[in-house]
Amino acid sequence: GNSVTQMEGPVTLSEEAFLTINCTYTATGYPSLFWYVQYPGEGLQLLLKATKADDKGSNKGFEATYRKETTSFHLEKGSVQVSDSAVYFCALGNNAGNMLTFGGGTRLMVKP
Amino acid sequence: DARVTQTPRHKVTEMGQEVTMRCQPILGHNTVFWYRQTMMQGLELLAYFRNRAPLDDSGMPKDRFSAEMPDATLATLKIQPSEPRDSAVYFCASGLPGQGTDTQYFGPGTRLTVL
């Protein structure tokens, strides 16, 4: 079956530091891959997505590249801000009806 | 700006009481999901619907939970009777499946506290 594994948090960084949150997946076929972000007290919001191998999703300075050879979709940002503090979820969709498999989430804390 | 809405945003109740949570999916979306989020278990899928028909509710405790879609603009999740272990944040999400469009759009959640 499908599964998503992401690094456990919390990840604590200073403002302007480089961020990487690792995500690897197991899936049959050709899934779509997503990163969602959850700010305190809110629901999950789509941050970025990629629908096929070698696609790069990007939004708000965050990027992730769909790597089929390593079954990975690592999230990166060159310079984090305090406002990026949130929980980040990696997810995959099997393109068969909206079902998503979520990772366990990684909490990011950015200190001034 | 189309959004999923959920009511109430917060609910505090006593053990044994009935709780009803409501969700309005984004207009035109035909797939609706209910999730529960707790610190211990993380994000759990409870049930999901397509075109108002339940497709999977295996994640839901059947004896006390029920989910319905009375019409295309309303999904409900009921707990009767509620128990303290039901305390969590309940999210609704909606989507419109298609090739490469598995995106789910989440509501702000209902924070339930059962005393």
In whole angstroms, what is the distance from residue A36 CA to residue B103 CA?
Answer: 10
pLDDT at B39: 87
pLDDT per position as a tens digit, B25-54: 999 998 999 999 998 888 999 999 999 998
Q: How confident is the model at residue B58 (pLDDT cuts 50, 70, 90)?
A: confident
pLDDT at B97: 75
pLDDT at B100: 53
**Residue among A98, A101, A106 with most chain B CBs within 10 A, to mutate:** A98
Closest partner CB to B102 (pick from A42, A95, A104): A95
pLDDT per position as a tens digit, A89-98: 999 987 766 7
Q: CA distances (Å), B15 to each of B65, B67, B80, B84, B113, in order?
A: 14, 20, 10, 6, 9
Chain B positions touching A93 (Cβ under 8 A) are 102-103
Rounded average pLDDT over A98-102: 84
pLDDT per position as a tens digit, A11-48: 999 999 999 999 999 998 888 999 999 999 899 999 99
User: How many cross-chain Cβ pairs, A to B, lie less than 8 Å apart?
Assistant: 55
